[in-house]
Structure 1
Amino acid sequence: MAAAAMCPGPMKATSQGAFQGENPLDYALPLAILQICLVVVVTRGLAYLLRPLRQPRVIAEIIGGILLGPSALGRSHRFLHAVFPAQSMTVLDTLANIGLLFFLFLVGLELDISAIRRTGKKALAIALAGISAPFALGIGTSFAFRATIVKGTPQGPFLVFMGVALSITAFPVLARILAELKLLTTDLGRMAMSAAAVNDVAAWILLALAIALSGSGSPIVSLWVLLTAAGFVVAVSLFLRPVLAWMARRSPEGEPVKEVYICATLAIVLAAGFVTDTIGIHALFGAFMVGIVVPKDGPFAGVLIEKVEDLISGLLLPLYFVSSGLKTDVATIKGAKSWGLLVLVIANACLGKIGGTVITSLLVKIPVREAVTLGFLMNTKGLVELIVLNIGRDRKVLNDEAFAILVLMALFTTFITTPIVMAIYKPARRAVPYKRRTVECAAGDADGELRVLACFHTNRHIPTLLNLVEASRGTARRRLTMYAMHLVELSERSSAISLVQRARRDGMPFFSGGKEQRAEQVVVAFEAFQQLSSVRVRAMTAISDLDTIHRDVIDSAADKRAAIVVMPYHRALGHDGSFASLGSAYHAVNKRVLREAPCSVAILVDRGLGGHAQVSAKNVSFSVAVLFFGGPDDREALAYATRMAEHPGVAVTLARLQPSRPPLLDEAESGPTRPRWRRSRPGSGP
């Protein structure tokens, strides 16, 4: 009875208010609201502070969870009992796991398993080496743990959990790091992401094995768990996939997805989680499997992401990091042996992952610098690492001290990735200083080739760009190459990983349902224009945050030796004829490009030049006016207009404004000017 009296009773949901003499923090709902607000403020604040170091947000979330736990603020019993009392942990853990459940559904939704078959042999070899080497060292490390701080733990499950913990590569976190370092669309980035995807799928399979082995039953029970889990996977593939495909077919492009389909899919996610939890392999696997079998064609998958993502990644998922942080007590790491184990596990994690990746990369003829960089990139940890460790702790495979050591290992290995990669991998620039190019200089080249880097944010910019380039192609003797660069903002949302799919779909196992259709429309538009005109078109993608995306434009202009960069105006024309601002960030991008570009820059103000792109000379009919006041900018505009005047369907009118006579000193500021007009007929030249 005494023990029963000490147990805290269940919390009621809502209070009657402070004016009734009640403490709102003694009730579940106001306490949960306070916890969520505190978590969001702390994690977002840390993310802002770590932004200059280019650290992924998961670092801030892990640190925030540790700071709110018993390692820092939680050392104050008054704070811990007031904000995170023991009786509230059931509600907190439930909300955190619901957020994690739907996050794993999103991960499955964005992962295209069939694309893994297209993974190159090099990436596959690197992935296998990046799994096997650290897994083997993890097994070796587990013996040191069992001999010191983890005595009495079942050997089999502990070996597997340690191996999985050291061999994981977090591909969502890796994608963020690659994007921050502007390596996402490089060959190195593609290799890293392909290998990380294979690694991640293998880690989930090994985790399922570890969970099955960690049960308290006999080996026969573990075998039944694995067989039932395999049966669940088969059932989902055979029976659930057709149902979801039927919903996707009834959600065509251009029409809103019915709410009943969205609700039904989310209910299926919860039901699948219930089934796999009942089987004994954790609810996360069910949600992950549902995400994998959702059809990726059409808008259905994209709408699901948009409906679920913000709430989950913004509010509920950070609770999981806090739930993990509340279990992480750095103070449990005591004595030289424990700190020595921390150094040992970090060394083995780095040696296994980096060493295995580097050696294999060198064997497949990857240069040394790229191989070392790839090794550090593959050593990135993240949310999946925390999932493995928390499951191991909940299953009594890891004690508090081992759990804290492995969390610090994951934090350290991820934290060092960005600065080390920045230090050792700096893509070589041209040794010869880049000569500033202009349209005027390009006109004097032997072949008269004009290279245009045309940038766009959305699809509605494309018709205007194509019409502009068509009008600028000149005669058949003068070549024109258009580099069409799609400027994609790298957001903080969890599905930023799907941006990899938009950059390089071939051989990369990622998918973003709703955005794929729009990406295909872009490709079709440029391919059709290239086939019907004499203009060479090369599609490119820049994925970065708006604060640094101008560097992608500037570097691409230098690499492609562009004579002119065309940037979209930061205001968009509305249906009523007025301009609406796209945001100050887009304006800032244009100003940075104007200031730092190695060539001429044009700001394209779209006032209706778009519509259907005209690629046949007989159908093009444009009238172009050039106001010439003098100076280098006007001479560049005149050179561009001269090229446009060569097109048989373009009429150019030149208005040169100059003083009517040499001004006297007192007339220099206010003397009248007299315009001089010159008009070129279509096809006659300027």
Structure 2
Amino acid sequence: MSINSNDTLFYKITRLNETGYLVCYDAPPHTVSDGLWGGITNGRTPMRSFLPLFELQVLIIFALTTITTFVLKPLRLPPFILQMIAGLIIGILFELKGMEKYMTMVFPYGTHDIISSISSIGYVLFIFINGVQMDFSVITRTGNKAWTVSIVGLAIPLIVGITPLIMYPEKIEVIELKNGNGIYVGLVSHAISSFAVIASLLSELQIQNSELGRLSLSSALVSDILSTIVTTNIIAVRTNPSMKVVSRNLILLFLLALFIPLICRPIMFWVIKHTPEGRNVKDGYIYVIISMVFALGVLSVKIDQEFVLGAFILGLSVPEGPPLGSALVKKLQFFGPTFLLPIFVTTSVLKADFTLNFSSFLMASTGMVILLTHVVKLVTCFITALCCKMPVTDALCLSLILNTKGVVEIGAYHTLFDNNVIDGQTYGVMMLSVMIIGSIVHWSVKLLYDPSRKYAGYQKRNIVGLKRNSDLRILLTVQKQNHISAATDFLDVCCPTPENPINVDVIHVIELVGRALPVFIPHCLQRQASRSASHKSYSDDVILAFDIYEHENENAVSINTYTAISPANLMYEDVCNLALDKVTSIIILPFHIRWSSDGTVESDDKKILRALNQKVLEIAPCSVGILVTRANSIQKAAPVNSLTSEYSITRLAIIYIGGTDDDEEILCLAIRAMNCPRIKLVVYHLVAKDCIAELEDLMEVGDAILQELKHSESVKYQEVFTKDGSQTAGFLREIVNEHDFFIVGRRHGSMSPQTDGLSEWSEFPELGAIGDFLASPDLNSWASVLVVQQQLSRKNELKGWVL
């Protein structure tokens, strides 16, 4: 006998035939050992007990994956490829002389199926989570472009591949007998696109929020749903020769797909309705849903379908996003995709037979089918995208993305191998194809597609370039409710009037949790629909607040509101895209820290807002302002006809140094504010004592605007002579409580004497030296601060910041 029972976890092994063995387990099995010495007499030693051995195997797999990730980090491979490489290394170690004994001790015969079965739970949860993150209703809202690309990209490769199968069935049958069913599996699996795989790829490349990413996800969603319908029906028909059984399975499959959404989804909406706003869903509901995942998996197996089908359908039925969808994702993310899924991928590769003869008929036929299918799909998607008037590079990237392979294909091949549909060598070829295709697509898209290129070298958009009395276009970014009042305070400072109107676009940014598809909602197009809807919109409070402001400033302010739900690290894409589309002159961003009047921190959102601000400052297609507000910072100005009120005046201060584009921008804001009767404007011109000649050598634009402000009766102009940053800080400390609002430029040059030394103590570089000082809680000020940066002429100026 070739297998020694001492090298396994079995009590006894008896050969039945060339491929079959009769194995006997101890009853009860050795699950937990009695230690290194305690188990010698009864056999419960660590290497003969299931749990310690499983823990050791997991430790080795994660150690090898970590080492592989560190060594191959320069190649920037997808995580699942690194996990597959760890499985290849373990397989190679089995073949090395001297290592076989130790590897057999750690991975004895009989444990592969155990660790694979346990880790398969991670694959099931991965499919379920991706089903939860899918917004199935997007299919009804997806544009013609996504439908066309997905349907044509799925149909043409299948038609091209099936045609010879229909024309020459006898010859194909002979080839299949020699090929281990590689032709059928290779054709179908490589013609379809998996939403979960594409969502993971776009997340790794951080482009799911780009225009290409949104189109890819929409196309993948349509393709995945259609391919799931096709494959489940094929499996139902081919798995059993009895028409009676096939008919029963098809009916049950139809009922499964119909009643889960019709019954489970309304129940889940009931759960959401009875969950108080801002509270988490009760754990009892979460555990019931998780139990249903596995119960429906068992039911799927009973009708000859894959175990993951029930989990996928249930996932689609879960309302995406908070509170239920996000709660399920948070609960299962670590245990499933983070912990068990890598083990599943590694052990799946470990099962493959890589003793391949590259001149064999198996390699040639299977390889040709896979190559032909991908070439046809690539060309089809590329041509279809071009016909939809996409740029050549974007069309190529889209076709590559829709051709990628990953964890879903690994799970499918694993199931087919366990069910003896494909043999070991065909399984090995399929695993190699996943590794090669996944790596090529990842590298190619990363090389070809740069979502920020649209902003580089774009025409200048700023306030300085606007004609006098022309409309000012502003993009306000809000995330929390307290950002609304700060934003409207800034609009008041801009002094909107019918003669000098402002056009405002408000974008409400929300972190994407519990769903995979980013969402961008233009409420100006959906306002009536959202008001008549029975459910509450994410941005109802924002829409209402700015609708009221627009009504109060009729004919002076025009406001459109948008909601962007996207990953935190990609929110800048929504902001910059909207600014580009709306020809915005300035973007106003909220600062990530909000202080109370006594200097304590009320809120700090460093993860989202600070990262957003820094990225927008780096690539914005227009000027940018960061608005620092404190609690109760500005009392709302009263109407013009009640100027006698104590709180009707906003005391606005402009800190001007000169010599930079940013200071020109703040002077233009001062020009808009100086004629407003509700604003008391003071311009402080900081001049270095050793550079008095600076007064006669100002930039042309800055000089003209400054002279206008200087000679205006409604503006108080004051020249302040300072020697260095310490004197500037002393002056600012004196006037900080005399004003309600400060506007300063961010960049004053590294050689500016007025700010010399201030930058060394700067905590937040995005505010500049003076802005950072005025925003310091040590000043005990109530004043708001707007830090303005004119559109960058040099890209990536801010790279190197560390959050």
Whether 1:337 and 2:356 are equivalent positions in the alignment is no
- Give 1:376 deviation, angstroms: 1.7
Matched residue type, 1:14: V
Describe the shift of the 1:275–1:451 C-alpha distance in structure 2 as closer, same or farther (beyond 3 A). same
* Aligned match of 1:643: 672
1:475–1:647 contact (8 Å) kept in structure 2: no
CA distance in 1, matches of 2:691, 2:13: 106
Residue number among 495, 498, 507 corresponding to 1:476 in the alignment: 498
CA 1:8–1:582: 2 relative to 1, 3 Å:
farther
For the pair 1:465 / 2:484, whether they are aligned, the reply is no
Q: 1:549 to 1:146 in 2, by over 3 A?
A: farther
Change over 3 Å in CA distance of 1:282–1:681 after alignment to 2 = closer
- What are the within-5 Å matches in structure 2 for residues 366-377 of structure 1? 366=390, 368-377=392-401
Q: Is the 8 A contact 1:161 1:388 kept in 2?
A: no
2-side partners of 1:342 and 1:349: how far apart? 11
The secondary structure found in structure 1 opposite 2:519 is helix
Are the counterparts in 2 of residues 563 and 599 from structure 1 also a CA contact under 8 Å? yes
**Per-residue CA shift, 1:611-638, capped at 9, x if unaligned?**
9999988899573442635234555444
| Alignment-mate amino acid for residue 302 of structure 1 | S
Quote the residue 1:318 is aligned against: 342
Q: Could you report, residue by residue, the CA deviation over 1:154-196 in whole angstroms, capped at 9, with x for unpaired residues?
A: x7xx765343212221223323444566654555444332221
1:20-55 deviations in whole A, cap 9, x for unaligned? 477545433333334444444554665677776665
Q: Which moved more, 1:673-682 or 1:246-255?
A: 673-682
Counting matched residue pairs gives 663
Q: In structure 2, do the counterparts of structure 1 residues 91 and 614 end up closer, same or farther at CA, with 3 Å as the change threshold?
A: farther
Deviation string, structure 1 residues 93-135 (Cα, Å, up to 9, x no partner): 2322222222222222223334323333343232222212222
Larger C-alpha radius of gyration, 1 or 2?
Answer: 2
Equivalent residues in 2 for 1:519-558, closer than 5 Å: 533=553, 534-537=557-560, 539=562, 541=564, 543=566, 546=569
Is residue 520 of structure 2 the alignment partner of residue 497 of structure 1? no
Question: What is the distance in 1 between the residues matched to 2:640 and 2:132?
Answer: 45
Question: Residues 277-317 of structure 1: CA distance to partner in whole angstroms, max 9, x if unpaired?
Answer: 22321321122222222345862233222222232221122
Match of 1:391 among 393, 404, 415: 415
Describe the shift of the 1:179–1:561 C-alpha distance in structure 2 as closer, same or farther (beyond 3 A). Answer: farther
Normalised TM-score (structure 1)? 0.79
Counterpart Cα distance in 2 of 1:176 and 1:470 = 44
| 328-337 or 70-79: bigger deviation | 70-79
Aligned 8 A contact 1:127 1:195 in 2:
yes
Alpha-carbon distance change, 610 to 677 in structure 1, aligned in 2, over 3 angstroms: closer
Aligned-residue RMSD, C-alpha: 4.8
* Structure (1 or 2) with the greater helix fraction: 1
List alignment gaps of at least 5 residues for structure 1: 508-514
The Cα of 1:446 is off from its aligned counterpart by: 4.0
Secondary structure of the 1:87 match is coil
Q: Secondary structure at the residue paired with 1:113? A: coil
Find the aligned partners of 1:662 and 1:388 in 2 and give their Cα distance.
Answer: 74
Equivalent of 2:223 in 192, 199, 221: 199
- 535, 553, 566: which one pairs with 2:588? 566
**Map of 1:512 onto structure 2:** none
Q: Distance in 1 between matches of 2:109 and 2:522?
A: 48
Return the alpha-carbon distance in structure 1 between the equivalents of residues 475 and 483 of structure 2: 14
- 1:163 is aligned, of 187, 198, 205, to 187
CA deviation after TM superposition for structure 1 residue 648, in Å = 5.1
| Partner residue in 2 for 1:215 | 239
Per the alignment, do residues 436 and 50 of structure 1 end up closer, same or farther by CA in structure 2, a change over 3 Å counting? farther
Alpha-carbon distance in structure 2 between the residues aligned to 1:640 and 1:487 = 26
Q: Indicate the residue corresponding to 1:130 in structure 2.
A: 153
Aligned counterpart, 2:120: 97
Secondary structure of the structure 2 residue equivalent to 1:475: coil
Q: Using the alignment, how far apart are the partners of 1:200 and 1:16 within structure 2?
A: 49
Mapped pair 1:224 → 2:271:
no
1-side partners of 2:543 and 2:59: how far apart? Answer: 43
Where does residue 518 of structure 1 map in the other structure?
538
Q: Aligned match of 2:34 in 7, 16, 28?
A: 16
Partners of 1:623 and 1:569 lie apart in 2 by 21
Q: What CA distance in whole angstroms lies between the structure 2 residues aligned with 1:41 and 1:521?
A: 49
Q: Distance in 2 between matches of 1:207 and 1:109?
A: 21
* Corresponding residue of 1:67: 88
Instruction: Indicate the larger mover: 96-105 or 242-251.
Output: 242-251
Q: Deviations over 1:41-97 (max 9, x none)?
A: 554665677776665444334444x33542567764345434433333343223222
Q: Identify if the C-alpha distance between structure 1 residues 196 and 431 changes in structure 2 by more than 3 Å, giving closer, same or farther.
A: closer
Amino acid at match of 1:194: S
Q: Report the CA distance shift for 1:242/1:681 in structure 2 as closer, same or farther (over 3 A).
A: closer
* Distance change (3 Å), C-alpha of 1:198 and 1:110: same
> Which moved further from structure 2: 40-49 or 614-623?
614-623
C-alpha deviation, 1:321, in angstroms: 1.0
With a CA cutoff of 8 Å and minimum separation of 6, indicate the structure with the bigger relative contact order: 1
Partner secondary structure for residue 151 of structure 1: helix
> How far apart, CA to CA, are the structure 1 residues paired with 2:311 and 2:69?
28
Q: CA deviation at 1:197?
A: 1.0
Letter in 2 for 1:474: P
Q: What CA distance in whole angstroms lies between the structure 2 residues aligned with 1:191 and 1:671?
A: 55
Structure-2 residue corresponding to 1:259: 283
Mean CA deviation greater in 260-269 or 579-588: 579-588
**In the alignment, residue 274 of structure 2 is paired with which amino acid?**
R
Sort the Cα spacing of 1:622 and 1:179 in 2 relative to 1 into closer, same or farther, 3 A.
farther
Distance in structure 2 (CA, Å) of the matches to 1:594 and 1:241? 43
SS in 1 for 2:14: helix
Q: In structure 1, what is the Cα distance between the partners aligned to 2:547 and 2:63? A: 47
Whole-Å Cα distance in 2 between the matches of residues 51 and 480 of structure 1?
A: 49
Is residue 68–residue 322 contact of structure 1 (8 Å, CA) maintained in 2?
no
Say whether 1:84 aligns with 2:110.
no
